[in-house]
Structure 1
Amino acid sequence: MTAESKIFVLDTNVILHDSSCIYNFQEHDIVIPITVLEELDNFKKGQQIINFHARQFVRSLDSLSSDKLFNGGMRIGPDSGRIAIRLEQRMHPDLKDTFPGQDKPDHRILNIAYCMAKADTEKSYVLVSKDVNLRMKAKSVGLMAEDYTTDHVRDLEKMYGGCREIEDVPAQGLDDMYRGDGIVAKANLMADDTPLVNNEYIILKNGKKSALAVYKKNTDTVERIHKSSAYGIIPRNAEQSFALNALLDPMTPLVSLTGKAGTGKTLLALAAALEVRKHYHQILLTRPIVPLSNKDIGYLPGDINSKISPYMQPLYDNLGVIKGQFSENSDMYSRLKRMLEDEKLMIEPLAYIRGRSLVKKYMIVDEAQNLTPLEVKTIVTRAGEGTKIVFTGDIEQIDHPYLDRNSNGLSSLVYKMQGQKLYAHVDLKKGERSELADLASDLL
C-alpha cells in the first residue's frame, strides 16, 4: 500500500445504490463491516432495485469467496486494492457515551471503522456512506467520512439544457428557414465554431424575426420546427414546442424533460403519447413510489391499490386535464375511457413494470429524479423494438433519502446521453400552471 492509499469502510446504502461499487476504489483497500452483510440479508428478497443490488453484491462477494476475506482480506483485481470483511467489535469507549444506541446498525458500522482507525493511526480510514447524518456523526468523532460520488454528475450548473437562443442570425438564412422544407445548412445561419450537439433545439433570431429549429449533426443542418398540438394540448412557449417536437419524433426513442413544477413536463408527454397512440401497442405512465416519510407503504391502511393510489394520483390529474378539454359525449373522451378499460393506457407504479418486456410501448417515467443512475439504465436497456421512453422530473425536488442533484439518475441520463442521435432533452424553465404556482416555485 502506498503512502497515499486509503482504506474505505463501506456503509450498506452504498452497496444498495451500486452493487459494483467495490470495483470503483482503484488501488485502495475496502472493508465491509459484518453489520453490512447482516443488513443486506434483509434486502435480498423483493423486486425493487435495492433488492437486486443486495443479491448482486452477495454473489460478487461469493465469487471472491475465501477465508482470506475474514483474515486480512484478498485482492479484488490486478490493479485494485484488497477487500476484507470485519467482524463486530466491542463499542469503543469514545463512542459508548456519545452514541448510546449501540445496537443501531449505523452505530455498529461507525464503531468498526472508528476502532480500526484508532488501532492503526498510520493509515487513513474513510467511512463511505450516502447517509449524511452518519457522515456527520463520523466527522464529529474525528473519523474521515465521504459520500459515494463515483456516479455523480460534475459541474451541474453547466448541465446541458437541450435548447439555446442565437442572436443576429443572417437575414437570408432566417428567410430560408421558411422556404421549402425548412432545412438550412448550419454554416448559413451561424459561425462554424458554434458548439451545437445533435438534436439540440435553437431559437434563431434576427431583430424581431425568429424561428424555432433543431440541429442535426449527421447532415450539419438546422431544421425548422413547425408548431403543433397533441391531443388538444397546445404548447404555450418555445420550450414546450421543443419538448413536443421531441416527444412526437419517431426517430428519437429516448427523451428527457426537466423543469420545476408547473412547466408541463408530464402533461406534454402524456398528450404526445395519446397523439401517436396508433404507433404503439400500449402507453405506460409510471413513477417510482418514494413516501415523503421514507417509510415503506406497507404501513398504510387498506389493500395494495389503496396504498399506491395517493402516489399515482398526480398522473391521473394530468389525464384529467386532457379529458377535461372534451365533453363526455365526444369521441376523444370516449377513446380515452376505452383505452383505460382495455389497458391500452396504464398508470402503474414503476415497481410493477420492472421486468416486463418493453416492445412497441410509449413509456413515460415521471418523477425520474427519484431514480438512481442504475435504475434509469435498467429501464432504458429493457427497451425493445419500436419503444419510446420519456423521463420527466425536477432535479431540485428529490424525495429519495440518498440521492441529490448530482447523484440522481435523471441528471446522469442528461449528462451521459447528450448529443446522441437517439436522444433529445429539453429543460423547461417557464411555468404555465398559474402565476401563483410560478411565484411559489421561485420564492418558497
Structure 2
Amino acid sequence: MKKIYVLDTNVLLQDPHSIFSFKDNEVVIPAVVLEEVDSKKRYMDEVGRNARQVSKLIDGFRQHGRLHEKIPLENGGSLRIELNHRSFHQLQEVFVEKTNDNRILAVAKNLSLEEETKEEGRQVILVSKDTLVRVKADAIGLLAEDFLSDRVVEVNHLYSGFLDLYIPKDELNRFYEKGELSLSQWANHPFYPHQFVVMKDAFGGSGSAVGIVDSTGEKVKKLLFDYEHIWGVKPRNVQQTMALELLLRDDIPLITLIGKAGTGKTLLALASGLMQTEDLGYYKKLLVARPIVPVGKDLGFLPGEKQEKLRPWMQPIYDNLEYLFNTKKPGELDAILAGMGSIEVEALTYIRGRSIPDQFIIIDEAQNLSKHEVKTILTRVGEGSKIVLMGDPAQIDHPYLDEYNNGLTYVLERFKEQKVAGHVQLVKGERSELAQLAADLL
C-alpha cells in the first residue's frame, strides 16, 4: 500500500533531491517548511546553496499544476504543498508552544487522523533528521523515520583498505621469493586496487607479510618503500606503514586516510608532502587546507589580515609543522615558511575557481565536508597533483552531516574500485597513551 511522507525542513536542506527518494508514494511538504527554507536561502554556505536549489526545484513543479494539488513525479510518486491540516487542536495539550517543529508535527498528525477515517487509509510517516522531532512524533503516536537515502554506507561496514589473508606456508615463501602472488585462487573474494593484504600462515606459523594489490586487482605485490624515517617520522605500526606507501607513490593521485585522533594522519601526510616537495622536487608546492567549522561556540570575527584571521583555525597544521621542523623559539616556524615559499596553508573557503597543478594537496578534517564540497575540491586538482583527504568520520562538527553521509566517507566508498585511489584506516593511536585511552573510552 502506498504511503504519505511528510518532510521536515532539515531533510530538504541536507539533500535537495530527497523529494525523489520515496518511490511511488506521496510526498507532502508543509507550508511552514517553505518558510524555513526561505529563511536560509541567503546563507552563503552549503545550507544556503541547498535552500536555493530546493526553491528552484519546487518552482519548476509549478509548470505541471498547482502545488497544493498532487504534482506527478517521474518516479511514479507525487508531491504536494500542504496548506491545510494546520490545526493545533490535537497537540495543544502536549506541546503548548507553536514552534515550527510543532507546526510540522501538527500537519503530519492531522493528516494521519484523516487517513485513519478512510476505508483504505494510507500510513503517514514524518521524515526528519532531527532526533527530538522523531521522539516527539513517537510521543503523539505518529510514525517517524530518519532520512537514510543520503547515506553512503553503514559506518561499521566502512572500507578499511586492508584485510587479513590466511595462506599456506609455501605460498608465503613464494611471495618472499618472487615479490608477488597471484590472487586467482581467491577469486571468490573481492580485492580492490591498492588494497593492502596482511598474509599470514594458515597453519598457525609465525610467518607473515604485507603486500599491496596491483591496479588490476589480480596480484598482490611487495611494498615499494621501506624508509626508516621520513623527515624524522618513523611508522610505528603496520597501518602507518601502509599509509606511507600510498603517500609516497606517484601512481596514486588520490589518497584517503581515516582514523581516530592521534593515529598520525596529519603528521604522516605532512612529512610525505615535505619530502616529495622539498627533497625530491616532485611537486612545486605543498598546499595544506582544512574546512573552517568551529568546535563548540564560534569565535566570531577575528582581527587582522587574512593570515592572522586564519591562524587560529590552522593552528593544528602549524603544530605538526613545528614538530617536523623541530622549532624551539616563537616565530621561528613563520620565518622558515616565509623563506621556503613552497608551503601554503589555506582555508578551503578560497579554493573555488582555482586550478591546482603539480602540487601535493592535503585536506585535513575532510569529514566536515559535504558531498558537493568534496566534489568541488577534487575537480580543482590539476595535472601532476596528488591530493590527500583525511579525517575521522566519528568526529563531525557540521550540523547537517553525520558519519554516514559526509564527504570523506563518500569519496572513499565511491573510489575504492578505481585505479587512481588508495585508502587505509589507521587503527592504533600513537600520540600518547592518554590520547589513545581518550579516543577509545570517550
**TM class, shorter-length:** 0.7 to 0.9
Q: In the alignment, what sits opposite 1:114?
A: 109
Kept in 2: contact 1:230–1:274 (CA 8 A): no
The residue type paired with residue 286 of structure 1 is A
Kept in 2: contact 1:18–1:374 (CA 8 A): no
Following superposition, the deviation at residue 275 of structure 1 comes to: 1.9
Matches within 5 A, 1:159-198: 159-171=158-170, 173-174=172-173, 176-177=175-176, 182=179, 184-187=180-183, 191=186, 193-198=188-193
Q: In the alignment, what sits opposite 1:54?
A: 51
1:285 aligns with 2:288: yes
Following superposition, the deviation at residue 242 of structure 1 comes to: 0.6
Residues 288 and 218 (structure 1 numbering): CA distance in 2 closer, same or farther, change over 3 Å?
Answer: same
The residue type paired with residue 30 of structure 2 is P
Q: CA RMSD in A?
A: 3.0
Identity over aligned residues, as a percent? 38
Residues 169 and 320 (structure 1 numbering): CA distance in 2 closer, same or farther, change over 3 Å?
Answer: farther
Q: In the alignment, what sits opposite 1:272?
A: 272
Q: In the alignment, what sits opposite 2:90?
A: 94
1:135 aligns with 2:134: yes
Aligned length: 427
Question: CA–CA distance in 2 between the matches of 1:306 and 1:142?
Answer: 53
- 82, 85, 89: which one aligns with 2:81: 85
Q: What TM-score does the superposition give when structure 2 sets the normalisation length?
A: 0.86
Matches within 5 A, 1:66-77: 66=63, 68-77=65-74
Question: CA–CA distance in 1 between the matches of 2:382 and 2:374?
Answer: 15
Question: CA–CA distance in 1 between the matches of 2:37 and 2:23?
Answer: 24
Kept in 1: contact 2:88–2:103 (CA 8 A): no
Residues 128 and 361 (structure 1 numbering): CA distance in 2 closer, same or farther, change over 3 Å?
Answer: farther
Kept in 2: contact 1:260–1:431 (CA 8 A): yes
Matches within 5 A, 1:25-424: 25-66=22-63, 68-77=65-74, 79-87=75-83, 90-102=86-98, 104-121=99-116, 122-171=121-170, 173-174=172-173, 176-177=175-176, 182=179, 184-187=180-183, 191=186, 193-206=188-201, 207-218=205-216, 220-225=218-223, 226-228=225-227, 229-277=229-277, 278-293=281-296, 297=298, 299=300, 302=303, 309-324=311-326, 336-339=337-340, 342=341, 344-424=342-422
Following superposition, the deviation at residue 214 of structure 1 comes to: 0.5
Q: Which runs of 5+ in 2 are unaligned?
A: none
Kept in 1: contact 2:172–2:208 (CA 8 A): no
Comparing 192-201 with 251-260, which one deviates more in the overlay? 192-201
Question: CA–CA distance in 2 between the matches of 1:332 and 1:92?
Answer: 62
Classify the secondary structure of the residue corresponding to 1:41: helix
Classify the secondary structure of the residue corresponding to 2:90: helix
Kept in 1: contact 2:356–2:381 (CA 8 A): yes
The residue type paired with residue 259 of structure 2 is G
Matches within 5 A, 1:428-439: 428-439=426-437
Q: Which runs of 5+ in 1 are unaligned?
A: none
The residue type paired with residue 369 of structure 1 is Q
Question: CA–CA distance in 2 between the matches of 1:115 and 1:273?
Answer: 59
Question: CA–CA distance in 2 between the matches of 1:298 and 1:434?
Answer: 29
- 13, 16, 24: which one aligns with 2:13: 16
Kept in 2: contact 1:323–1:333 (CA 8 A): no
Following superposition, the deviation at residue 251 of structure 1 comes to: 1.6
The residue type paired with residue 243 of structure 2 is A
Question: CA–CA distance in 2 between the matches of 1:439 and 1:22?
Answer: 43
Question: CA–CA distance in 2 between the matches of 1:309 and 1:114?
Answer: 50
Residues 183-212 of structure 1 deviation map (CA, whole Å, 9 limit, x = unaligned)? x23259x75545422111123345444433
Following superposition, the deviation at residue 90 of structure 1 comes to: 4.5
Following superposition, the deviation at residue 169 of structure 1 comes to: 4.9
